[in-house]
Homo-oligomer: A and B are copies of this chain.
Amino acid sequence: MTLQNDRFLRALLREPVDVTPIWMMRQAGRYLPEYRETRKQAGNFMTLCQTPELACEVTLQPLRRYAFDAAILFSDILTIPDALGLGLYFEEGEGPRFRKTIREATDVSNLPKLNTSQDLSYVTDAVRLIRQELNGSVPLIGFSGSPWTLATYMIEGGGSKDFRHAKQFMYNEPDAMHGLLSLLAEAVTDYLNAQIEAGAQAVQIFDTWGGILTPTAYQQFSLDYMQKIVSGLHREHEGRQVPVILFTKNGGQWLESIAASNCHCVGLDWTVDIGDARRRIGSSVSLQGNMDPSILYASPDAIRAEVARILEQFGEGEGHVFNLGHGITPQVDPANVAVFVDAVHEYSEKYHRN
């Protein structure tokens, strides 16, 4: 089936587009009343993730409201550790938690071997269903957490303020940590390839916590494993390239290294000047980002001004996918999202005339 709107895939590969494509991290999320309704029906968050019909429904909800140029699979970044037997659960307002944690080298060697096609079939089922329902309107993005990011949750047993246990493990047991990260890199590769085979047309690796590391540790414990994943992914499916986006929150100081990973696109948070980023790495990769999600709390005029500013910073030509610099937050007024999306399309047209 021909894709009716492929500007997202084209921009990722730095091919010409009519306007700058846009999607939003966490676009299927709590800021939407219909999402909150479906989640309530599901009873809990894991049921929502693990029921393909419900995951499909919430994936499509933002596309009914806004002119997004891509859908992103609704799922959680922690499905792999859950499939590895750590027991993911969510407490209201608390974020993710694991019943079991990794604290010693033997905890790593005791982890089972993952069989993605069996253990995470609910995800690939959802991907197939979403592709069918999208019916060629816009492409579908698959995703995973990065090995380092998954490891932090597995070691801490949930979110953390100072990542004490994860860093202790990394500094005191570097071999066990590398063992864990190798295992996770393999699992993520299989997982993303399964999503691609099921129909994901681009994939993003979320390295939410790479930015808490020193430059040396980031390279060794996060980026090296993402690079391994990139090199193991299917480069083509259904006769089209499958672009890979790497997003390290607070990774602005390491853009050159990230771009050297052989990914197609580097995701930027809002602390980076996207014009500088383009000068630094724009000849080898496309860029995704990078509006501060907090601007969606401001007035429509302030939102439009910020969109205009970012488009101008990037400048003329190809290789920009508009996005927030991190996920949209739950308290945002859905009306402001419409202002945001429309402004990107409206204001970007003039940068794509040649």
On whether the beta carbons of A164 and B329 are closer than 8 Å, the reply is: yes
Partner of A171, one of B168, B211, B295, B329: B295
Chain B residue at minimal CB-CB distance from A331: B164
Let me know if A215 is at the binding interface, CB within 8 A: yes
Interface residues of A in 247-264 (CB under 8 A from B): 250, 252-253
**Which of these binds chain B: A19-27, A39-47, A188-196, A269-277?**
A269-277
On whether the beta carbons of B168 and A216 are closer than 8 Å, the reply is: no
On whether the beta carbons of A167 and B292 are closer than 8 Å, the reply is: yes
Partner of A172, one of B167, B252, B273, B298: B298
Question: With A164-B294, A164-B331 known to touch, is A271 a contact of B171 (CB < 8 Å)?
Answer: no
Chain B residue at minimal CB-CB distance from A272: B253
| Chain multiplicity (copies) | 2
As a 0/1 sequence over residues 187 to 220 of chain A, the CB contacts with chain B under 8 angstroms (1 = contact) are 0000000000000000000000001111110100
On whether the beta carbons of A168 and B297 are closer than 8 Å, the reply is: yes
Contacts of A216 in B (CB 8 A): 273, 309
Partner of A292, one of B214, B252, B276, B293: B214
On whether the beta carbons of B297 and A164 are closer than 8 Å, the reply is: yes
Partner of A253, one of B212, B253, B302: B253
On whether the beta carbons of B168 and A298 are closer than 8 Å, the reply is: yes
- Interface range on chain A (Cβ under 8 Å from partner): 20 to 34
Let me know if A135 is at the binding interface, CB within 8 A: no
On whether the beta carbons of A162 and B302 are closer than 8 Å, the reply is: no
Partner of A302, one of B171, B298, B331: B171
Let me know if A35 is at the binding interface, CB within 8 A: no
Inter-chain pairs besides A164-B331, A213-B271, A253-B253, 9 sampled, C-beta below 8 Å: A167-B294, A168-B297, A171-B295, A215-B271, A215-B272, A215-B276, A218-B271, A250-B250, A253-B272
Q: What are 17 pairs between A and B in contact, CB < 8 Å?
A: A164-B294, A164-B329, A167-B292, A167-B297, A167-B298, A168-B297, A172-B302, A213-B271, A214-B270, A214-B271, A215-B276, A216-B273, A218-B271, A250-B250, A250-B271, A253-B271, A253-B272
